[in-house]
Amino acid sequence: MRAHSNPAFRVLPLVMATACLALALPPAASAAEAGFRQMTVARAADEKPAHFALYYPTAELARAIPMGPFPQTVAINGAPESKFKGLIVISHGTASTELGFATLAQALARHGYLVASVEHVGDTWQDQSMRATPGRYFAERPRQVSRVIDTVLADPLWSSRIGQGSDGRPLIGAIGHSAGGYTVLALAGGKPVLSRLRAHCEAEAALDPVLCGLSHGIGSASAQAGGTADGQEEPVQADPRVRAVMALAPMGVAFSPPSLAAITVPVALYAGEKDTFLVPRFHALWVMQNMRGATTTLQLVPNAGHYAFMNTPTVDLPSPDGSVAADPAGFDRAAFLDRLAQESVAFFDKNLRQQ
């Protein structure tokens, strides 16, 4: 991992950070297996049904279960353990799926966390209708995550097991990839400015071509639809229940610098060195440079592409930036995901336990 430094925060190389956390923390409780259930978000009658995948610690035996291109090794409907360290929500990228982060979700569950992986209705592989209304897109993605948190906390089976901080509130963290990286940073307080995204693509489309191809005309479309004026932040609601965030290859260029500077929760940023979907210099590195109030780290993963943070699908899934299954030559995605899973456990153990 390459480490980047800035006087505003501390950055550690990945291996060094893992070692330091391991020394600083007592051994994490680890259940034998990861349980799995699918749940539905309570929504208005005229809205599309929304689902999420729930992973949790269980003593029951896990089996390899085919689930489309992302098989899971889980105990379907296994009995949950009596206590969870906290709740971690996962937000997938655009046109993706809630099942694509099996290694991360299952590792967190085996180490004592309840994990809710969100299906972003209107921005899945089956339905991208939400992208037609940019202002709604940027506001609705974090809102959908908050609805999943509401649903879990309203269910006594799960809410009674979630660990609490010294303030008596549930310990909740979030992980997001790509547009999900935007989503979890928005939950932490980041605010997008659509005219910023438009100006970026007018100036840098040749250097950030995949994103700019997807977002062509997004700023003007918002204005025509009665959205916010140029330079104004979108009215996106943060969720103060989220206490720590991991943003993986985040879409970051649209955020206003003051909103990033105002984020106070711990943030771990990751980016693939060879990401051509969301070029790090315009996104993850730019976010890092504008974070001032939070404990922030950035890991630039050598030789990694945009999809290094997802499990490798069993079929060749197309995307705006090539196959989701493809990696740069020589990159070992499985080994990296195992290491990232350990990092995620250590990150949330440290930053949720301190609260």
Higher pLDDT: 100 or 25? It is 100
Give 308-350 pLDDT, tens digit per residue.
999 999 998 988 888 999 999 999 999 999 999 999 999 999 9
- Which 8-state DSSP code applies to residue 130? G
Averaged pLDDT for residues 95-119: 96
CATH 3.30.365.10 fits 2-353, yes or no: no
Averaged pLDDT for residues 35-57: 85
> Domain locations in the chain?
2-353
Residue 90 near residue 101 (C-beta atoms within 8 A): yes
What count of residues does the chain have? Answer: 355
Phi, psi for residue 111 in degrees, rounded to 5: -100, 20
- How many whole angstroms separate alpha carbon 128 and alpha carbon 108? 29
pLDDT for res 21: 37
Nearest to 127 by CA among 201, 51, 218: 51
- How many whole angstroms separate alpha carbon 136 and alpha carbon 234? 9
Per the prediction, the chain carries an average pLDDT of 87
Strand partners, 176: 91, 247
pLDDT for res 218: 56
In this predicted structure, the answer to whether residue 244 has a pLDDT above a threshold of 80 is yes
- Chain centre to alpha carbon of residue 110: 19
Half-sphere exposure for 313 (CA within 13 Å, toward CB): 18
Nearest to 161 by CA among 52, 29, 41, 21: 29
Half-sphere exposure for 165 (CA within 13 Å, toward CB): 19
Nearest to 221 by CA among 245, 194, 246, 243: 194
Give 250-262 pLDDT, tens digit per residue.
999 999 999 999 9
- Residue 120: which residues within 8 A CB-CB, separation 6 or more? 91, 92, 96, 98, 130, 141, 144, 179, 180, 183
Phi, psi for residue 269 in degrees, rounded to 5: -100, 140
Which residue reads 């976010």 in tokens? 287
pLDDT for res 214: 85
With H, G, I as helix, E, B as strand and everything else as coil, classify residue 332.
coil
Of the pLDDT bands very low, low, confident and very high (cuts 50, 70, 90), residue 172 is very high
pLDDT for res 46: 60
Higher pLDDT: 18 or 258? It is 258
Of the pLDDT bands very low, low, confident and very high (cuts 50, 70, 90), residue 230 is low
CB under 8 A, 24+ apart: contacts of 39-46 = 39/116, 39/151, 39/152, 40/151, 41/144, 41/147, 41/148, 41/151, 42/147, 42/150, 42/151, 42/154, 43/147
Pairing of strands 2-3, 296-301: antiparallel
Of the given ranges (14-18, 94-98, 101-105), which has the lowest mean pLDDT?
14-18
- How many whole angstroms separate alpha carbon 141 and alpha carbon 353? 27
Which residue reads 């609705």 in tokens? 140
Task: Confirm whether pTM is higher than 0.75.
Answer: yes
pLDDT for res 13: 38
